Amino acid sequence: MRRRARLRAVFLDAGGTLLHEVPSRFAIYAQTAQAHGLDVDEPAMRRAMIAAHDALPLELGPHYRYTQGWFEAFITEVFVARLGLDGRLLAPLQRELFERFASAASFELFPGAHELVRSIRALGLRVGVVSNWSETLPALLEGLGLARELDFLVVSALERCEKPEPAIFQLALQRAGANPEETAHVGDCPVRDVRGAQALGILAVHVDRERTRAAPQADHTVNELNELPAWIRAQATT
């Protein structure tokens, strides 16, 4: 691992790192499809959603990725263009999905999330969430009881920049009042989180719950959040 200054700030990814949907995002979409008359299972929905995501650009007119306008186009692409839903049935389906994903009841924090954030704050470090997410993330974290534990949020749909771009990490550094060499970023994606952070000289920690070893270049790897407090304490005190 690189030698560096003591930590002053820690950035945390949201989806896949701190929290997850219950059931999965693909299952929620499949359940909604079935409720509106489409015969589609979770694997087929997963394929349709991934293809639709890849087909849509970062910006659709004024709508940046993961804003409501972008998601309206995404839902149309998934259900009408790829699954054959009658377009006249789309509006109530969209409302149902937006309501479900805006609700904290659709999500759970991973074990150790609260304890991790509290341990970081107890060391006197700044801690914030840096996430590619919709405008609903601040309210969602509030509903999950985590928002009050954080010093700041950087949400891609609100800032119109996303990981792994340097701009979103630079914005987080400004809000943390820290330099890259004093900062660690924790996330589950080898590209968005690990490579994105390291490109700016930020220490990158890979959360590898599936033990994929997909980010061998990470500065540190853990399988669960409860492995992180001791490591962060070492970086902040030695």
In total, how many domains does the chain have? 2
- 118 with 133, same domain: the answer is yes
In a domain, 167, yes or no: yes
- 83 with 165, same domain: the answer is no
pLDDT digits (tens, 9 = 90+) for 58-107: 999 999 999 999 999 999 999 999 999 999 999 999 999 999 999 999 99
Which residue is it, tokens 């839902």?
75
- Which range of residues forms the domain containing residue 90? 25-105
Average pLDDT, the chain: 96
Please say whether the beta carbons of 10 and 99 come within 8 A.
no
Element (H, E) at 185: strand 183-187
* Alpha helix stretches (DSSP H) within the chain: 25-35, 42-55, 68-76, 90-102, 113-122, 137-143, 156-159, 166-176, 196-198, 228-237
- 229 with 122, same domain: the answer is yes
pLDDT digits (tens, 9 = 90+) for 190-227: 999 999 999 999 999 999 999 999 999 999 999 999 99
d(CA 128, CA 173): 10
- 119 with 98, same domain: the answer is no
Any idea what the CATH number is for the domain that residue 203 is in? 3.40.50.1000
* Alpha helix stretches (DSSP H) within 123-165: 137-143, 156-159
- 159 with 183, same domain: the answer is yes
pLDDT digits (tens, 9 = 90+) for 26-39: 999 999 999 999 99
Kindly indicate the confidence band of residue 1, based on its pLDDT and cuts at 50, 70 and 90.
Answer: very low
